[in-house]
Structures are given as structure tokens and as C-alpha cells.
Amino acid sequence: KYKLEQARERLYEELQRLLSSNDHGAINAEMGIGKTVTAVTAVVRNYDDVMQRRILFTAPTKELAEQIYDTAQRMAQETESDFPIILIEGRNKDNCEFIDEVNLAAQRGYTPLYVACMGCTSKNGCPYFAQYENLPTCGLIIATHETAKYHLGQLAPVTWIIDESPLQLFHNMYKADQEDMNLPEQIETDDAKPLFGVLRDTAYQAALQLEEYGESRIYIGHVPPGPWEDAPTLEKVCPG
């Protein structure tokens, strides 16, 4: 068991190692140890690495993203670091002319970009989308997980620091019993029968090869990046 200061020092060293390399990494630590502040400290103090790449730091909530931004700004001033630190804000009344329509679309489960923004008369000069124009190639960009989900192509980070698990946001997870699994046979059409057959055969072959068959993962197109293959369950990919 590490004492608090020892644990923070160990955490800082591991973050420093990850920032200096292109390795993937997942760090799991007890609540209250100071993971977020330590991560911000590691970024600010490793000035040379930050100035060579664009680092995206995402948090689960708007409030936490703002706290990270304030902490990073304060530390940068204390260390006299002059690299860019940018907070990407979500849509609000100050940067979106039709925020009520956007909120209504989101409440009903629609993506605002495809519902409210497409017909917006101010989209060419929209302050919200202006945030993504001319982003610096190097520095620290702070946003929420949800913002990264929809704008990752524009944010285009070289290094991505994810504070707290984003698993529920990026992956829809469902649990099904045997009755649910049998349901497709009742509703499948002639066109869909070959697909259901392939899925059943794939699951059966996986069951034969796995000693402890608890779940199956079928990747459509390609395997996601990162150490997915070695993770025993999806929850283990992003612990914490």
C-alpha cells in the first residue's frame, strides 16, 4: 500500500512516461488520490512534450472540464509556461443563437448538428463551430467526453488523456438473456437469415475456444484501437 504522497509520485511518474512515449495506458487509482490534478501537473511540467504535440484532455462533465482548464492555467502561470491552453465549450446561449432548439433536439435524442444546425441561418459565422477553426497544432485542449465523441476529427489529438471512464458514452452496452437471444429467430426475414446464421456460428465457435465463456464481442469492420484483444471484458478496457 502506498501512502498518499508516494501514490501521487508513482502516478506522476507513470503519466510522465506515457506523455514521453506513444504508448496506450490506463491508470486505475482510488478516489481522492488526486488523479486529475496530477495529470494536469504532468502535462504542464512536461513542457517540451506538450510543445511537440496536440494533447486532448477530456472529462465527463462541463464543470470538471472547466476546473481542469483553471488548474492548467494557474500551473502554467506559476511555471511561466507559454504553450496554448484552450477550453472547448459546449453549446450555450452565448455561442449558439438557437440554443432552445438545440436543447429540444438533444432532449428528444437527436444529434443537434443534423437537426438544428443544418438549417441555421447563422451557421457560417457560428461562434460554437468557430472554436474548432485554426486550433494550434501543439498545446493542451480541454473538453468533455461528449464533445470529443462528436468532434474528434476536428480535435485530432496526438495524445488523448481521458479522465474517468467514458465507456458508457462511447459504447452502448446491453445485456440479454436466452429468451432475448432467441427473439431474432422469430422476427428474421429471408434477407436477414444468412446474417443471423453467421452470428450464431461465430458465437458458437467462440464458445468452443474460450475456457470461460462469459460474453462475445463482434467487431464490424475492424478491431478498435488499443489493447482490446487482451481485455477479458469491455469494462476492463477503461477501468475506474
Rounded to the nearest 5°, which phi and psi values hold at 135?
A: -65, 140
Q: Is pLDDT of 105 > 90?
A: no
Q: Given this model, what pLDDT does residue 218 score?
A: 52
Reply yes or no on whether the pLDDT at 221 is more than 60: no
pLDDT at residue 141, rounded to an integer: 94
User: Which carries the bigger pLDDT value, residue 58 or residue 196?
Assistant: 58
For residue 166, which of 64, 37, 58 has the smallest C-alpha distance?
58
Phi-psi map region of 185: left, alpha, beta (phi>0 left; psi -120 to 50 alpha): alpha
Q: Could you tell me the pLDDT band of residue 44, with boundaries at 50, 70 and 90?
A: confident
pLDDT class of 97 with cuts at 50, 70, 90 = confident
Q: What percent of the chain has pLDDT over 70?
A: 69
Q: Is the dihedral of CA 193, 195, 200, 205 positive or negative?
A: positive
Residue with cell 432552445: 100
Averaged pLDDT for residues 34-49: 83
The pLDDT value given to residue 234: 47
State how beta strands 159-162 and 54-59 pair. Answer: parallel
Query: Residue 115: CA atoms inside 13 Å, Cβ hemisphere, count?
Result: 15
What are phi and psi for residue 39, nearest 5 degrees?
-65, -45
The β-bridge relationship of strands 85-87 and 139-144 is parallel
